[in-house]
Amino acid sequence: MKNSSNHSYREEDQPKKESPISTMDSRFNQTLRNVQGLLKGRTIPGKILLTRRSDPIDDLSSQENSPSYQRSFSSNDAGTSDRMEKAEENQTPSKPNSNANASKLKSSTSQPEIAVKEIQKSTMGARATDSARLTKFSKVLSGTTIILEKLRELAWSGVPPYMRPNVWRLLLGYAPPNSDRRDGVLRRKRLEYLDCVSQYYDIPDTERSDDEINMLRQIAVDCPRTVPDVSFFQQEKIQKSLERVLYTWAIRHPASGYVQGINDLVTPFLVVFLSEYLEGSVESWLISDLSPDKLSDIEADCYWCLSKLLDGMQDHYTFAQPGIQRLVFKLKELVRRIDEPVSKHVEEQGLEFLQFAFRWFNCLLIREIPFHLVTRLWDTYLAEGDALPDFLVYIFASFLLTWSEELQKLDFQELVMFLQHLPTQNWTHQELEMVLSRAYMWHSMFNSSPSHLAS
């Protein structure tokens, strides 16, 4: 898209029909209207469609009270079920007392003509959507050769939990798209991992260099600190698995070696691949319920998927981590363009973006949101593929500006404390979807028009 056309979507160019926009919600509503005009008549494959439905009537159940964001899929997906999906795709459960959230997320334009019957119909449609969505995943995954682009379109909006292990292996390129080769490749890669562990980990310290000994000690210190609020990760066997994966990866990637934060990146893979064998919530899992062979396969899958993920962001973990520093600078510029009051306030208080955003990029937000939401966030991460590093900038801008109003009221010390302990502990999928929807819209507006971000 050319820069000249994008100028029409700048906030300052919009007609001033009402008082100046000061709150984040108002700015977001304006962004919604801008992007609706930009994308009118088009579909957004596998991503958020930029409209909101009116708030449901109060006497519906708490699940039905959750505002929802409509989604659209590629033009290949036609038919009645697709139209239902466009209208009802992303219905997420809300907290029992979500009136405050609902009012905060209200659309600037309501649709009072919607009657109770129509809302009940839409609720039925949402349940049907689940079935339609599963059918689409099943159809894509059942092919002799999986078309990865179609899988990415579907996965961007979330993967059904029981399909997630297979989908993640495919999205990362660890499992081949050709079904005839898949089992053989996985078997070979798992044996290769065992050979690496035998060669690099299962040896006495006398055969290691001083640097390798120090690295192994640092990993051993960091493993008990990994996701400390989830007791499952405190089991000794899990920590040993984590240690083996991290040390083996570090030895085989000497350009970076082990960097604190990589330990967090293994945890989503561990949970997803363990879910193939363990049922119930993570808190109830016991590693002793797994045979050594299964645990070995899971470990190998974690190792290879971690390797594939980090292959696309190698300079994030080399000396001085230049890749992260570059993205933090882009984040600062994007926030300045989207929300100048916040950007100006942070600058006036003397707070550098590196002081809080470095950890976000280093750990991919794992430490910032409840752990039960991490795998849903990573569905989108992995669906982005090679484009992930650049898209992270938009996700993190959306994440930060969730608290636009609050941030402008805090002084330096309060900003530091707030950003180190963000109030996300009660977040549900609803808040996460809001972050992702904003990120996609801003990416659509700005990524192909870098002049908008120039100082």
Give residue 310's identity as a one-letter amino acid code.
Answer: L
Mean pLDDT of 235-245: 95
User: Is residue 81 scored above 90 in pLDDT?
Assistant: no
Mean pLDDT of 411-435: 96
Q: What is the pLDDT of residues 270-284, one digit of tens each?
A: 999 999 999 988 888
Which pLDDT score is estimated for 454? 53
User: Is residue 83 scored above 80 in pLDDT?
Assistant: no
C-alpha dihedral, 247 to 251 to 257 to 260, nearest 10° = 0
Dist CA 9 CA 247 (whole Å):
49
Mean pLDDT of 225-232: 90
Which pLDDT score is estimated for 119? 34
Q: What is the pLDDT of residues 305-333, one digit of tens each?
A: 999 999 999 899 999 999 999 999 999 99
Do residues 248 and 197 touch, judged by C-beta distance below 8 A? Answer: yes
Above pLDDT 90, what percent of the chain?
64
Lowest-confidence pick of 296-305, 312-321, 444-453: 444-453
Q: What is the pLDDT of residues 18-44, one digit of tens each?
A: 444 444 455 545 555 544 444 343 333
pLDDT band, very low/low/confident/very high, at 116 (cuts 50, 70, 90)? very low
User: Is residue 80 scored above 60 in pLDDT?
Assistant: no
Per this entry, what is the length of the chain? 455
Domains identified in the chain and CATH numbers? 162-312 (no CATH), 322-448 (1.10.472.80)
Q: Is 365 left (phi over 0), alpha (psi -120 to 50) or beta?
A: left
The one-character DSSP state at 135 is: H
Dist CA 146 CA 176 (whole Å):
9
Do residues 151 and 171 touch, judged by C-beta distance below 8 A? Answer: yes
Please tell me which residue, 218 or 19, carries the higher pLDDT value: 218
* Biggest alpha carbon–alpha carbon distance for the chain: 77
Q: What is the pLDDT of residues 46-66, one digit of tens each?
A: 443 333 333 333 333 333 333
Please tell me which residue, 399 or 88, carries the higher pLDDT value: 399
Mean pLDDT of 107-132: 44
CA 314 to chain centre: 19
Residues paired with 71 in a beta bridge? 48
What is the secondary structure of 37-49 as a DSSP string? HHHTT---TTEEE
Assign 229 to helix, strand or coil: coil
Please tell me which residue, 290 or 110, carries the higher pLDDT value: 290
User: Is residue 231 scored above 50 in pLDDT?
Assistant: yes
Please tell me which residue, 78 or 349, carries the higher pLDDT value: 349
Which pLDDT score is estimated for 100? 40
pLDDT band, very low/low/confident/very high, at 208 (cuts 50, 70, 90)? very high
With residues binned 3-state (H G I as helix, E B as strand, rest as coil), the percentages for the chain, rounded to 5, are 65, 5, 30
Do residues 425 and 370 touch, judged by C-beta distance below 8 A? Answer: yes
Mean pLDDT of the chain: 79
Mean pLDDT of 183-206: 97
Do residues 159 and 273 touch, judged by C-beta distance below 8 A? Answer: no
Which pLDDT score is estimated for 447? 82
C-alpha count within 13 angstroms, C-beta hemisphere, residue 448: 10
Query: Strand 69-72 relative to strand 47-52: parallel, antiparallel, unpaired?
Result: antiparallel
Residue 388 structure tokens:
């992930």
User: Is residue 147 scored above 90 in pLDDT?
Assistant: yes
Which pLDDT score is estimated for 11? 43
Dist CA 201 CA 356 (whole Å):
34
Q: In the structure, how many helices (H) and strands (E) does the chain have?
A: 20, 2
Residues paired with 72 in a beta bridge? 47
Which pLDDT score is estimated for 33? 53
